[in-house]
Chain A
Amino acid sequence: GEDVEQSLFLSVREGDSSVINCTYTDSSSTYLYWYKQEPGAGLQLLTYIFSNMDMKQDQRLTVLLNKKDKHLSLRIADTQTGDSAIYFCAESYSGGGADGLTFGKGTHLIIQP
């Protein structure tokens, strides 16, 4: 089946930028998403990017998509303690699950004071 891969952990200092990376395998992906999950909560959509775009910026968040390398990244500028969470990368493609999405295992972002 199709795979979405992410590192399990990322540790950054407060105030620095965080870059969370994701690779996927299906070249026919239409949309790619970043979801945030805080402890004990559901998933919150942070942002998404259409597959024909290279970059999308929304306040402190910057998404970069390298379609050739099937690589997606999420940059969080000026990381704050409130950014501590698990970040899931997901892709949407026609061969996906019943919900149309394939999720990565999530990257746990740890903020050091």
Chain B
Amino acid sequence: GAVVSQHPSWVICKSGTSVKIECRSLDFQATTMFWYRQFPKQSLMLMATSNEGSKATYEQGVEKDKFLINHASLTLSTLTVTSAHPEDSSFYICSARDHSGANVLTFGAGSRLTVL
């Protein structure tokens, strides 16, 4: 079945630095990928839609200059958290839609970001 790989699984960084998270579709092409943020014991919050070859579409309230998204190929989207601060610490998950026709989203394993 469809597999989405996310890297790194966890990252610790200092406040003020930038962190890049990668999301890859391993056995299928994804013109669209999605990035979510999940707070402890809560559901996923959709942050943005990553569009291959064009600008990402951000959900209301998500700072596009803070969370830079690049979707340069049909199998790779990256999320860069710029000038990270402790409040950016969270679990970030990406997803992509496979071609099963049932609108199924395949999720990555998530990336735990801790900003010191």
Chain A residues packing against B (C-beta within 8 Å): 30-31, 33, 35, 40-45, 48, 50, 88, 92, 97-101, 103-106, 108
When distances are taken between beta carbons in the complex, the residues of chain B under 8 Å from A30 are 103
Question: In terms of DSSP, what is the predominant structure of the interface of chain B?
Answer: strand
Pairwise interchain contact B104-A106, C-beta atoms closer than 8 A: no
Report the bound CA distance from A105 to B75 in whole Å: 29
Q: Which of B46, B91, B108, B110 contacts A99 (CB 8 A)?
A: B46
Query: Which of B44, B95, B104, B112 touches A48 (beta carbons < 8 Å)?
Result: B104
If the complex has contacts A98-B49, A98-B59, are A105 and B42 also in contact, measured as CB distance less than 8 A?
A: yes
Tell whether, in the assembled complex, residue B95 and residue A99 are in contact, meaning their CB atoms are under 8 Å apart: yes
Closest residue of chain B to A93, judged by CB? B103
| Residue contacts A-B, CB under 8 angstroms, 8 given | A31-B102, A42-B107, A42-B109, A44-B107, A88-B43, A97-B46, A98-B59, A104-B43
**Interface residues of B toward A: which range?**
20 to 34
**Quick one: which of B44, B49, B103, B109 contacts A41, CB cutoff 8 A?**
B109
A residues in contact with B108, CB < 8 Å: 42
